[in-house]
Amino acid sequence: MPKGRGLERLGKVTCTCLCGWEICYLGRKINASANLVASSTTYREDASHTKLINPWATTTHRQGLSAHTISPSMANTDLWSRQQLQLILAGATLFCTGFACRSILAQQPKDAIRPSPRKTLLPNLTEAERLNLPYPPDALPGARDVDSPYGTFRVYEFGPEDGRKVLLVHGISTPCLALGGVAHTLAEKGCRVMLFDLPGRGYSDTPSDLDHDIRLFTSQILIVLASSSLPWTSPQGFSIIGYSLGGGISAAFTAYFPDLIQSLVLIAPAGLIRDKHISRTSRILYAKTTLFEPILLRIVRSRLRKPLYPPKHSDSENQGQPSPSQHHGAKDAVQAEVSVPIESNSTAPIVLSKSHPNITIEAAVNHQIENHVGFVPAFMSSIRYGPIQRQHERWRRVGQTFRDRNQDVLVILGERDPIIKVQETREDATECFGGRVRFVVMDAGHEAPVSKGPEAAERVWEFWEGQGQGQK
């Protein structure tokens, strides 16, 4: 066991033992006090019945107050209450002791990589069963699996080799299939596109001993870029499109590697979500813990297994319009990413995969929850450590870079987005980017690039052409 993990485990055991010792000490003090009261109580015979009188009450009696008289039945009740208290304290002590033993005896997993369904599920299926999965392994062209110290990552790369290079980064709960509509449209316009499953999503493994923060995400981007036979990190660089959590990742990556980025496009991006929109339940549920992590994993998995549909609104005029004061949790983010509104103005079918046109992102996410052992831990770690909030300094660095280039960042928002508020994002992004930002608001919710992928791609293409970058 690494020295750091050994010290961490020793700290957990020490804290647990101290907690148990404090409970024992408290129980002894309460029990001693109760015994003292009982031993100082005297009985006095009365003409009609036996009374239990506390002699300490004589002073109070002299001050004009009546003596405290206790009947034998009340004494028995008091004794029974003390016995119950002792049982509760004993149970709490055993509970803490059990956790201490668990911390001592639990063995660190030999392999810190949680494998994806590519290793745990696909080998047990026939070819026909694979093709009928909600997220088939050949859902997008140019699939490859890249080995790394963090596990194996699934990557897709397709489109003309000499076309404009575009990297797409998906959201917190979906595999990269969610951006299939955007990717196919850009490839048809001559772009060379690359998508990949973030750790713990789709067919990518996830490291169980690392926080899912910008360091892990940045490392993954560099790994998948290096896996290509084409020079993605050439002086001309590449364009990056980030959606939801992927928007926060893309902005942070641009802040650290500005010379690699030709253009930055953010679709309903995380990063500047204001604190008031995070529910108290989410703050408690996703707070970093030590002893109760297995319990929290079960709770989160159970919550994510519930039907992923948008909440119903009684007022038909406000359907799809969340309350301005509504708080949102992580499950709301999942719903917003995968739920396609029935009232969408588009009559065209939503095609995420050319080879499997009938698959849906909601089915893919549900399949992921049930079959990827690393998804829920990766999801929780991304909520805790991912670039979701308070990214203002990194965004300001991006703004300085684009001001020096005399170039704009494109931000695409959904008019009915319950997670990324249009007005707040306008205000905060404008301040961070120093005015070097262009906004496009689509008639959609947070799922804009999923439900209207071709339209979102057209908006991106128009922006590039306006910047004189259409064919670069």
* Residue burial 47-62, b: 16+ Cβ < 10 Å; e: rest: eeeeebbeeeeeeeee
Q: Has residue 429 been placed in a domain?
A: yes
If pLDDT is split at 50, 70 and 90, which confidence band does 335 have? low
Tell whether 181 is covered by a domain: yes
Integer CA distances (angstroms), 93 to 82, 84, 258, in order: 16, 14, 55
pLDDT digits (tens, 9 = 90+) for 226-258: 999 999 998 889 999 999 999 999 999 999 999
Residue ending a domain, choose from 105, 127, 156? 105
141-155 residue pLDDT tens = 999 999 999 999 999
Q: Minimum mean pLDDT among 75-84, 158-167, 255-264: which range? A: 75-84
pLDDT at 280 over 80: no
How far is it, in rounded angstroms, from Cα 469 to Cα 297?
A: 45
Predicted local distance difference test score (pLDDT) of residue 115: 97
Q: At which of 73, 105, 137 does a domain end?
A: 105
Q: Predicted confidence band at 286 (pLDDT cuts at 50, 70, 90)?
A: confident
Per-residue pLDDT for 347 more than 60?
Answer: no
pLDDT of the residue at 41? 43
Q: Which pLDDT score is estimated for 148? A: 97
Picking from 81-85, 233-237, 385-389, which range would have the lowest pLDDT averaged per residue? 81-85
Total number of domains in the chain = 2
- pTM given for the model: 0.75
Q: Answer yes or no: are the C-beta atoms of 116 and 154 closer than 8 Å.
A: yes
Indicate if the pLDDT at residue 3 is higher than 50: no
* Same-domain pairing of 412 and 374: yes
The span from the CA of 423 to the CA of 166, in Å, is: 28
- For residues 288 and 366, which has the higher predicted lDDT (pLDDT)? 366
Stretch 293-321: mean pLDDT, rounded?
A: 62
Which of residues 8 and 469 earns the better pLDDT score? 469
Please determine, for residue 128, whether its predicted confidence score (pLDDT) is greater than 80. Answer: yes
Q: Indicate whether 136 and 75 sit together in one domain.
A: no
Structural domain contains residue 257:
yes
Q: Which residues contact 388 (CB under 8 A, 6 or more apart)?
A: 172, 245, 248, 270, 271, 273, 382
**pLDDT at 372 exceeding the cut of 90:** yes
Q: How far is 23 from 17, CA to CA, in rounded Å? A: 10
* Per-residue pLDDT tens digits for 57-73: 444 444 444 444 555 55
195 and 74 co-located in one domain? no
- Report the pLDDT value the prediction gives residue 307, as an integer from 0 to 100: 52
Q: Domain containing 442 — which CATH number?
A: 3.40.50.1820
Give the structural domain span for 93. 3-105
What pLDDT shows up at residue 49?
44
Quick one: 291 and 345 in the same domain? yes
> Which range, of 222-226, 262-266, 280-284, 400-404, averages the lowest pLDDT?
280-284
| Vertex 275: Cα angle to 272 and 278 (nearest 5) | 105
Q: Looking at the structure, tell me whether residues 209 and 63 fall in a common domain.
A: no
d(CA 356, CA 82): 67
Backbone angles phi, psi at 345, to 5 degrees: -70, -20
Neighbouring residues of 471: CB distance < 8 A, sequence distance ≥ 6? 164, 190
